[in-house]
Structure 1
Amino acid sequence: MKSRDRRFGVFVWIGLALAPGPVTAAPTVAEVDDFASFNEAAIEDYLLPRYEALAAAGEGLKGVLRRDCADGRLDDGASGQAYHVMMDAWMAVQHLRFGPSELFLRAERMQFWPDKRGSIGRRLSQLLMAADQSDLEPRRFAQGSVAIQGLPALERLLFDMPGDNENAFACDLAVRIGANLRDISTALLADWRDGPSAYAAVMRDASKGNAEYLDAKEASLQLAKSLHSALLLIVDFKLQRVLGDFEEAVKPKRAESWRSGRSLRNIRINLAAARTLYQDVGQGGFAALLRRQPGGPTLHVEIAAAFRHVEKRLASLPPSWIEVLAEPRGWQRVSMIHQDLRDLLALISGPFSQTLDLPLGFNSFDGD
Structure 2
Amino acid sequence: MRILTFVAALMMPLAAQAQDRAPILMDVAETHILPRFDKLPETTGALVSASRVDCDPTSPALRAAYDAAFDSWISASHLRFGPTEVDDRAFAMAFWPDTKGFTTKALSQHIATEDDAVQDPEAYAETSIAGRGFFALERMLFDPAFAEQGNADYRCALIQAIAADIDANARAMADDWQSYAPGLTRPSENGRYRTQDEAMQELFKALSTGLEFTADTRLGRPLGTFDRPRPNRAEAWRSKRSLRHVELSLVALRDLASRLAFDHPDIAADLDAAFARAIENAQAIDDPALAGVSDPQARFRIEALQQSIHDIRAIASTELGPTLGISAGFNSLDGD
Q: Which TM-score applies when normalising by structure 2?
A: 0.90
Hey, what does 1:12 align to over in structure 2? none
Decide whether the 8 Å contact of 2:83 with 2:173 is kept in 1: yes
More moved, 322-331 vs 267-276: 322-331
Per the alignment, residue 205 of structure 1 pairs with 186
2:132 to 149, 168, 187: 149
Indicate conservation of the 8 Å contact 1:262/1:319, yes or no: no
* Alpha-carbon distance in structure 1 between the residues aligned to 2:129 and 2:298: 34
* 1:181 pairs with one of 155, 161, 166: 166
Q: How many residue pairs end up in the alignment?
A: 325
CA offsets 1:138-182 (integer angstroms, 9 cap, x no match): 222101110011100000101113633971111100100111111
- Determine if the alignment matches structure 1 residue 62 to structure 2 residue 48: yes
Question: Which residue is 2:286 aligned to?
Answer: 318
How far did 1:270 drift? Answer: 0.3
Alpha-carbon distance in structure 2 between the residues aligned to 1:136 and 1:326: 43
Which whole-Å deviations, capped at 9, do the CAs of 1:188-237 have from their partners, x for residues lacking one? 010011xxxx101211221x333311212211111111111110111111
Give the residue type in structure 2 aligned to 1:115: D
Look at both structures and tell me which one has the larger radius of gyration over its CA atoms. Answer: 1
| Cα distance, 1:75 vs structure 2 | 2.4
The 5 Å alignment of 1:152-163 reads 152-161=135-144, 163=147
In structure 1, give the amino acid aligned to 2:202: Q
Cα displacement (A) at 1:322: 4.7
The residue identity in structure 1 corresponding to 2:263 is: L
Say which of 300, 305, 319 aligns to 1:351: 319
Q: How many angstroms does 1:88 deviate by?
A: 0.3
Q: 2:198 aligned with 1:214, yes or no?
A: no
Corresponding residue number in structure 2 for 1:116: 99
Return 322-331 or 264-273, whichever deviates more: 322-331
Match of 1:190 in 2: 175
Distance in 2 of aligned mates of 1:205 and 1:85 = 33
Instruction: Please show how residues 1-368 of structure 1 align to structure 2 within 5 Å.
Output: 26-27=11-12, 28-30=14-16, 34-69=20-55, 73-134=56-117, 136-161=119-144, 163-164=147-148, 167-193=152-178, 198-206=179-187, 208-246=188-226, 248-279=227-258, 285-291=259-265, 297=266, 299-318=267-286, 320-322=288-290, 324-325=292-293, 329-367=297-335
Which piece of structure 1 moves more, 75-84 or 114-123? Answer: 75-84
Residue identity in the other structure for 1:289: D
CA distance in 2, matches of 1:239, 1:26: 38
On the 8 A contact 1:202/1:210 being kept in 2, the answer is: no
1:34 and 1:289 in contact (8 A); partners too: no
Distance across 2 between alignment mates of 1:351 and 1:325 = 32
Q: Which residue of 2 aligns with 1:16?
A: none
Name stretches of at least 5 consecutive residues in structure 1 with no aligned partner. 1-23, 280-284, 292-296
- In 2, the alpha carbon distance for the partners of 1:57 and 1:78 equals 13
Distance in 1 between residues matched to 2:304 and 2:91, nearest whole Å: 30
State the SS of the aligned residue for 1:59. Answer: helix
The amino acid of 1:177's aligned partner reads: I
Which deviates more from structure 2 when the two are superposed, residues 147-156 or residues 345-354? 345-354
Change (3 A) 1:32 1:191: farther
TM norm structure 1 = 0.83
The answer to which of 103-112 and 137-146 deviates more is 137-146
Q: Which ranges of 4 or more aligned residues in structure 1 deviate by more than 6 Å?
A: none
Question: What does the per-residue CA deviation read over 1:228-251, in whole Å, with 9 as the maximum and x for residues that have no partner?
Answer: 1110111111111110231x3111
The SS at the match of 2:263 is helix
What root-mean-square deviation, in Å, do the aligned CA atoms of Structure 1 and Structure 2 show?
2.2
State the 1:342 CA deviation. 1.4
- Equivalent residue for 2:3? none
Distance 1:231 1:134 in 2: 37
